[in-house]
Amino acid sequence: MEHDKANFGILLHDVARMMRVGYDRRMKPLGLTRSQWWVLNRLYFLEGARQSDLAAELDIEKASLGRLLDRLEDKDWVERRPDPDDRRAKRVFLTSRVEPIMKIMREQAAETNAEALASLGKAEKENIIKSLTRIRADLARLYAPGGQSGND
């Protein structure tokens, strides 16, 4: 078991899982499920994304995203609008009604991040962010369509 404690992938997965659990607890009083807050969070950064692109970004099936968006539309937190360039596609937008929820979500995310990094010094925090950003970019290049996946 000692080997697992030093395995980068396992450590990264465990840290991410623990942060999600902590954030889930913070979102529960708002009545948000993990899937709902995840969609809202991604939309915050991808405002107006095509529904199919959002599904790909979230790594979920289009039908599953459609059901999630239905529930978020029922709360008047998101709206789907026709894509002006493709009449078959819909674009997804946050509504003004969700702004207070998004503000709380952002504050709680900052607190969750602060808790996770509390024992690190400023330089350590900067280094871990730089390293993870570089790793993410390397993996994005490696596994991008047409990239070297190691299975060629």
Q: For all residues of the chain together, what is the average pLDDT?
A: 89
Read off the pLDDT of residues 72-83 as tens digits, 9 standing for 90 and up: 999 999 999 999
37 neighbors 78 (Cβ within 8 angstroms): no
Determine the average pLDDT of the residues in 48-63. Answer: 92
Count CB-CB contacts under 10 A for residue 69.
22
Q: In percent, how much of the chain has pLDDT > 70?
A: 92
Strand order in the sheet with 78-83: 49-50, 86-94, 78-83
53 Cβ neighbours under 8 A, 6+ residues apart: 46
User: Considering only CA atoms, which of 55, 63, 93, 88 is closest in space to residue 76?
Assistant: 93
Read off the pLDDT of residues 94-142 as tens digits, 9 standing for 90 and up: 999 999 999 999 999 999 999 999 999 999 999 999 999 999 999 989 9
The helix (run of H) or strand (run of E) holding residue 93 is: strand 86-94
Q: Indicate the range of 38-42, 119-123, 148-152 predicted with least confidence.
A: 148-152
